[in-house]
Structure 1
């Protein structure tokens, strides 16, 4: 066994045998701090047996005691994640100067080969980077790229909002209640998740990526088809039949839809339908139309002396207005939108929205709103729970006009509104929790038990999504109600003519003279006020 003496003085001697370091201490009580200072000039010495070293320095020894290892000139190490390899030059500055840089690079490459480091070697400019007693990155792997999550885009049901405008001599009241689609029309799509890109360690082994998360397309399979494209990158939802798009419990579907091309007449008979109804022209006198969902009558002339039109669960839009001949009855569970209303009866659980005028009409609703700046309520009896708004009430001929606002308890409505806000926040918290729970699963790799749990979470998620939509719609209406003044309001934006009677929560006011300025009458603290 060949030994190599690397240091000797009067107190100690260090030798190397088979890459192991030994010490002989001639005199005891050698300070360990002095020994540590000595090691600064011997970076290749690595102490591994501290107990033996400490004892020998304290007591002395006339035989060689093994205390550590003699490191190579170059050490190559790999990070725990195997994504980086480092070289460390165990030389003092003077020793470093005695080596050529290319020799050290060759040593580094030899160690890399010995350790099977083959990927991501950073050889370019390495000679200029290497230095002594510093860790140098000599190879770097690549991180895997996580796949992109699925992206879902669904058909958006348009917000119901009438548009009032004038085009020359024609006044328009335009909107659309029914989101009509034809067979094979686009209803949504899902960009499929990508698998991601594998990474590589410095050893050249693949690091599998995390695939993107899949999102479920929730749709009615009876009325909608899902089509996956040839390269499996996109699933498209298309209508399998013509109809009206609706969301029910968070599920998109195509509801039954009846389109009458022309008039409801002797040719069609009375209509009673379990879906949406659209009539391209009008309903002839004495005929009726009933439907479960929304009804819209798109003819420019509107309705005349019909028997009735009724939406059991939805809203009604009459594009051309109502000239009811004291026969027509309009009933809806939702809201009514029409250009004008004359000589008719309207019973509506929601809001009645009229573009231009109501004349000799009997109307009962939550609120009655006439949009146009030139709108008028002339004659008839208007009864609302919350408010009535128009530009003018009555006319120059002083036709008797009665406006009755039953009023509401604003404090209770405000409490219900606040409770709605709290409830919506709680539902959103539940929705967030469910979303986080769903994110734990990878839908492509589930066993039967996990699939059942995943499907149950998705079902609950869909129900909450729909619940939030309904709650937010209710909150929107409550916000509108609370914007009215007092506990019941009548708002005239231009004037009130003589022979108009206002009754707000049993507080009466009869107008005997023209009142021109914009005015709002309301009841607050059981007193009639105006502003």
Structure 2
């Protein structure tokens, strides 16, 4: 056996043969701790046979005994994820000082090449981090960059909230109920998911990126078209017709919208329309406007002795107010917004919102809200289920005014509201789960069974979106209802005049004096109270 001696002292000798390390122990004068101390100066030796070494040192036989291996000058390792490669220089400080650094770098590159490390090697970094007996990084792989998920932007309906202000000359009550679009107008888009950027290991092996998740566009295909852009980066939704944007059962759609440029009069006749109606001016006396959806009357002068305005399933906005001459009748299934209301009848399943005053008006609604501090209810009869809010009740002339709130169980409404929030969260979780499931399908490579599963998922997804929208709309109403103090509320934010009759759930109070301060009448524990 051709042995090369690599270390010798009076106690033992170390030999190398084909990278295997042998020891020949001459006496028992060397302990294991002493041997380990000597090894620190011989960093290329790796002990792999500890029992053989211990036996050789304690029972010397003067024969060659294999105890380990002789490491190369440079060792190359990689991280478990193969994204980093490391080198360690097996030279003691004195050896390292004497070794040519350029040769050392060549050795590192050669050993890396032998390990098939071909990507991310950085010579400058290697040169800057050269040091003996400490592992240092010589190459970096690249992590993949996952694709971006699809992003959907849909037409946002304007907030239905009137702006009440005075410009120094006129009291204004401005808002817009109808979200009009022309044929070809943008109503939404989906920014398509990206495929991502692959990564690479230090061995040059590609690491695939996860593509972004696809999201399904939910819209009414009869009224809205979808087109992929030339760069295929977005799908744009445009209206197929001129109309009003709505979310019908949670589905984006464009509904029919009738626009009357002047007055409703003998020229137009009475209006009855299966969509939205916008009247740019006013309505002549004795004429009617009926529609399935929202109606807005934009004339500054308001309405007089009209016959009827009725929205069968929507809201009504009357910009100029109502001076009904004891004839006008306003009926809506949603909410009513008007600058003022006098000498008219209002029947509303939602909230009646009045900007400035209600005078000699007969109003029946879920809520009647006059938010302006200077707003007034004078005369007439007001009946609400939940609450009535106004600045002043009655007037100095002490015109008899009747305010009635039927009352409700606030505790029950609160329970329903909490259940609604839980249901909404559950529906959202289901939508997210189905959305993730939908993103897995590649519509270009589905068999019949997979296509059916995809269709079933899409149907369920649309149903859940509808449910979510309905619950969210209902929750908005409940937020307003739960603002009521007690189980029914009548609040005057400024004052109450004499001859105002207050009734909440059959508990009545007749005010016979001027009360010049904010006051709230409310029902609690089946008692009429005030604060």
Is the structural similarity TM-score above 0.5?
yes
Task: Note if contact 1:297-1:317 (Cα within 8 Å) is conserved in structure 2.
Answer: yes
The whole-number CA distance in structure 2 between the counterparts of 1:404 and 1:396 is 21
TM-score by length of 2: 0.89
Residue 526 of structure 2 corresponds to residue 493 of structure 1: no
Within 1, Cα distance between the matches of 2:521 and 2:18? Answer: 105
- For 1:471 and 1:452, locate their aligned partners in 2 and report how far apart those are by CA, in whole Å: 29
8 Å contact from structure 1 (residues 376, 391) kept in 2:
yes
Could you list the structure 1 runs, at least 4 aligned residues long, displaced by more than 6 angstroms after superposition: none
Query: Matched residues in 1 for 2:315 and 2:513: separation?
Result: 38
Pair 1:144-2:144 in alignment: yes
Equivalent residue, structure 1, for 2:230:
230
Q: How far off its partner does 1:52 sit?
A: 5.0
1:490-524 alpha-carbon deviations (Å, 9 max, x no partner):
22333334443232222333344544443333333
> Is the CA contact 1:29–1:59 (under 8 Å) kept in the aligned structure 2?
no
The yes-or-no answer on 1:272 pairing with 2:277 is no
Q: Secondary structure at the match of 2:215?
A: coil
What does residue 39 of structure 1 align with?
Answer: 39
* Counterparts of residues 74-89 of structure 1 (less than 5 Å): 74-89=74-89
The 8 Å contact of residues 441 and 454 in structure 1, kept in 2 or not, is answered as: no
Kept in 2: contact 1:249–1:462 (CA 8 A): no
Asked if 1:285 corresponds to 2:276, the answer is: no
1:441 aligns with 2:440: yes
Q: Which runs of 5+ in 2 are unaligned?
A: none
Change (3 A) 1:375 1:5: same
- In the TM superposition, what is the alpha-carbon distance from 1:440 to its structure 2 partner? 7.4
**How far is 1:454 from its partner?**
5.6
Deviation at 1:179, TM superposition (A): 1.4
**What RMSD in Å do the two structures reach over aligned CA positions?**
3.0
Q: Does 1:242 align with 2:242?
A: yes
1:377–1:390 Cα contact (<8 Å) kept? yes
Q: CA deviation at 1:9?
A: 4.6
Unaligned residue ranges in structure 1 (runs of 5+):
none
Q: CA–CA distance in 2 between the matches of 1:455 and 1:133?
A: 63
SS of alignment partner, residue 110 of structure 1? helix
Say which SS state the counterpart of residue 347 (structure 2) adopts.
Answer: strand
State which drifts further: 296-305 or 263-272: 263-272
CA–CA separation in structure 2 for the residues paired with 1:514 and 1:371: 21
Post-superposition shift, 1:35?
4.3
Cα 1:213–1:430 change in 2 (3 A) is: closer
Count of residue correspondences: 530
Q: Deviations over 1:413-443 (max 9, x none)?
A: 33333333444444445455556x4497375
Distance of aligned partners of 1:331 and 1:58 in 2 relative to their CA distance in 1, 3 Å threshold:
same
1:396-407 alignment runs, 5 A limit: 396-407=396-407
Give the alignment of 1:44-83 within 5 angstroms: 44-50=44-50, 52-53=52-53, 63-83=63-83
| Superposed CA offset, 1:2-36 (max 9, x none) | 32122345554332122222334456898555544
The SS at the match of 1:124 is helix
The answer on whether the counterparts of 2:7 and 2:15 sit within 8 Å (CA) in structure 1 is: yes
Cα offsets for 1:326-382 (capped at 9, x unmatched): 222211111111111222211111111111222222111111122333322222221
Counterpart secondary structure, 1:105: helix
- The separation in 1 between residues aligned to 2:208 and 2:418, in whole angstroms, is 50
CA distance in 2, matches of 1:386, 1:127: 79
Q: Residues of 1 paired with 2:34 and 2:342: CA distance? A: 109
Task: Output the CA distance in 2 between the equivalents of 1:237 and 1:259.
Answer: 24
- Contact 2:126–2:137, Cα closer than 8 Å, also in 1: no
C-alpha spacing 1:107/1:525, structure 2 compared with 1 (3 Å): closer
Q: Which residue of 2 aligns with 1:105?
A: 105
